[in-house]
């Protein structure tokens, strides 16, 4: 960063993302991020009141870019039946989470920690995901593929019923060779309730 460039929230988050990927959330300090930006750590505290607040903001940004945005593209697809679109959405969610856990272990570990420690910051992310499911369920109701009923309640139930396939607390279970079969079994049960 040059002396003339303004220090914005986004600049700090991008720098923090790079430093956290290199050292991990436990080993990274606010001083490390400030050093990377060539500013004093006090300068960062003008934008974020604590290391925890900074880590939470980095996690929110990462979740938006790596999970919510790609899933939005799937939710907005107009081809296929509601069931096909919903299945594709969930399979994309699972795939993204598994890939992130394997390929971005430091960021995934931070996400897992934040999901336990800062439940309030996770609410917008979870509500965004449930909103995407709801839009697909509403499409299914409109096309009479799914039974009528409250799409918001159904979307939340679908999200919660599949949590073992996407919540970071279950990351070790995702390595089980039978995980896809387990999802198929859950999926059949869920679809029988929607149709």
- Are 126 and 160 found together in one domain? yes
- Are 36 and 57 found together in one domain? no
Intra-chain end-to-end CA distance of the chain, in Å: 56
- Are 22 and 41 found together in one domain? yes
Share of the chain above pLDDT 90, in %: 62
- Who wins on pLDDT, 22 or 78? 22
Residue 12 sits in which domain range?
1-48
- Are 79 and 21 found together in one domain? no
pLDDT for residue 5: 62
- Are 80 and 111 found together in one domain? yes
At 95, give phi and psi (nearest 5°): -60, -45
Q: Compute the mean pLDDT over every residue in the chain, rounded to the nearest whole number.
A: 90
- Are 26 and 94 found together in one domain? no
CATH number of the domain bearing residue 23: 1.10.10.60
- Are 139 and 83 found together in one domain? yes
Count of domains in the chain? 2
- Are 88 and 7 found together in one domain? no
pLDDT for residue 7: 87
The least confident of 56-60, 87-91, 121-125 is 121-125
CATH number of the domain bearing residue 151: 1.10.357.10
């Amino acid at each position: 960063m040059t002396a003339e460039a303004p220090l914005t929230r986004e600049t700090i988050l991008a720098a923090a993302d790079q430093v956290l990927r290199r050292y991990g959330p436990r080993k990274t300090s606010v001083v490390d991020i400030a050093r990377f930006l060539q500013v004093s750590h006090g300068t960062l505290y003008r934008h974020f009141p604590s290391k925890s607040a900074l880590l939470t903001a980095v996690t929110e940004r990462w979740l938006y870019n790596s999970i919510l945005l790609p899933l939005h593209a799937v939710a907005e697809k107009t081809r296929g039946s509601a069931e096909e679109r919903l299945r594709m959405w969930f399979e994309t969610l699972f795939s993204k989470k598994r890939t992130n856990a394997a390929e971005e272990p430091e960021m995934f570990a931070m996400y897992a920690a934040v999901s336990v420690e800062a439940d309030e910051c996770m609410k917008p992310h979870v509500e965004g995901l449930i909103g995407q499911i709801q839009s697909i369920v509403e499409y299914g109701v409109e096309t009479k593929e799914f039974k009528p009923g409250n799409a918001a309640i159904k979307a939340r139930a679908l999200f919660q019923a599949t949590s073992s396939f996407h919540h970071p607390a279950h990351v070790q279970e995702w390595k089980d060779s039978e995980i896809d079969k387990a999802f198929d079994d859950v999926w059949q049960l869920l679809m029988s309730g929607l149709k």
